[in-house]
């Protein structure tokens, strides 16, 4: 059983089926509930978005990875093609709804075509589509699959600001997959005491061993202003000797090193 963001027709469902097209899915209202379902052992794994190529990271997902003992066991990359869906005609629309990421990814389209229309956010694109099916005055920014699922017309398609729009989803589970030769390891680093060159020193451990960093991002610890943790993705598996040695070296130089998991990189 896989937990994912619902209702049916969400991009999270698409990611889950891309991960395992035969899986039984259980839908949850938001990212928090989807992760909590795994913690409560309602599902074997959960799939949630972590970053988008246009809008950047999903901060709630990052915060949950820091707050809980979660293990990343895989990743899925889904191309996002937003459509404007409605039961009515363009002139009937009084409200446009979508997930905050969907609204942000279609900012220019909304401004150019529906400047005076009320904009509302919802927990998922598919919930927006479901609500749009109940009123001709509501339009949803969601997938073409949602249009079929909720009996909506596609008024316009590919309305995202940039055509090359991708979202990376992570699979959160319980076990660490074996090395495949094309893996990633995700970690969180907290320096504790900031000093000149502290982050540079940590990054130098990777650079000195020719370890490729595919992503680095800071997030506030929420303790005091200016206090940060760093989320880092590196190429390689925790069982690789060079990765293991490097992380051991880094652990002695930081206040906290949290290994989120090693998993096959999405193709």
Per-residue pLDDT tens over the stretch 255-265: 999 999 999 99
Stretch among 18-32, 44-58, 79-93, 193-207 having the lowest mean pLDDT: 193-207
Same domain, 91 and 60: no
Between 224 and 38, residue with greater pLDDT: 38
Same domain, 75 and 89: no
Q: With bands split at pLDDT 50, 70 and 90, how would you rate the model's confidence at 187?
A: very high
Is residue 246 part of the annotated active site? The answer reads no
Sign, CA torsion 91/95/100/104: positive
Domain of 188 in residue numbering reads as: 183-264
Q: Which of 27, 114, 169, 206 is catalytic?
A: 169
pLDDT in tens, 236-250: 999 999 999 999 999
pLDDT in tens, 62-92: 999 999 999 999 999 999 999 999 999 999 9
- Is residue 246 assigned to a domain? yes
What is the Cα gyration radius of the chain? 20
Q: With bands split at pLDDT 50, 70 and 90, how would you rate the model's confidence at 36?
A: very high
Q: Which of 4, 73, 125, 167 is catalytic?
A: 167
What pLDDT score does 266 carry?
93
Helix axis angle for 198-207 and 241-251, nearest 10°, is: 160
Domain stop point among 146, 173, 200:
173
Mean pLDDT score across all residues of the chain:
94
pLDDT at 194 over 70: no
pLDDT in tens, 162-183: 999 999 999 999 888 999 999 9
Stretch among 126-135, 196-205, 226-235 having the lowest mean pLDDT: 196-205
Query: What is the total count of domains within the chain?
Result: 3
Is residue 167 part of the annotated active site? The answer reads yes
What pLDDT score does 195 carry?
67
Same domain, 61 and 105: no
Q: With bands split at pLDDT 50, 70 and 90, how would you rate the model's confidence at 158?
A: very high
Q: With bands split at pLDDT 50, 70 and 90, how would you rate the model's confidence at 223?
A: confident
What pLDDT score does 137 carry?
96
Mean pLDDT of 3-8: 94
What pLDDT score does 224 carry?
83
Q: Domain holding 207: CATH number?
A: 3.30.70.260
- Is residue 133 assigned to a domain? yes
What pLDDT score does 62 carry?
96
Same domain, 59 and 99: no
- Is residue 162 assigned to a domain? no
Q: Domain holding 53: CATH number?
A: 3.40.190.10
């Amino acid at each position: 059983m896989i937990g994912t963001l619902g209702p049916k027709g969400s991009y999270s469902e698409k990611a889950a089926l891309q991960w395992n097209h035969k899986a039984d899915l259980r839908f949850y209202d938001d990212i928090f509930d989807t992760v909590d379902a795994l913690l409560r052992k309602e599902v074997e794994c959960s799939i949630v978005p972590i970053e988008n190529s246009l809008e950047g990271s999903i901060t709630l997902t990052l915060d949950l990875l820091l707050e809980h003992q979660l293990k990343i066991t895989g990743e899925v990359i889904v191309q996002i093609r937003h459509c404007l869906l409605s039961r009515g005609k363009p002139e009937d629309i009084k409200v446009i709804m979508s997930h905050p990421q969907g609204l942000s990814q279609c900012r220019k389209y909304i401004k150019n075509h529906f400047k005076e229309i009320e904009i509302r956010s919802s927990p998922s694109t598919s919930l927006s589509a479901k609500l749009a099916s109940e009123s001709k005055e509501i339009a949803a920014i969601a997938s073409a699959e949602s249009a079929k699922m909720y009996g909506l017309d596609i008024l316009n398609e590919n309305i995202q600001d940039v055509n090359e729009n991708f979202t990376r989803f992570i699979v959160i589970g319980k076990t660490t997959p074996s090395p495949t030769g094309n893996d990633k390891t995700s970690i969180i680093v907290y320096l504790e005491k900031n000093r000149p060159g502290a982050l540079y020193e940590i990054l130098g451990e990777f650079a000195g061993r020719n370890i490729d960093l595919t992503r680095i991002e800071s997030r506030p610890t929420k303790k005091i202003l200016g206090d940060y943790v760093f989320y880092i993705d590196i190429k390689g598996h925790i069982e690789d000797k060079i990765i293991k040695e490097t992380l051991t070296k880094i652990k002695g130089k930081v206040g906290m090193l949290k290994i989120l998991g090693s998993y096959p990189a999405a193709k």
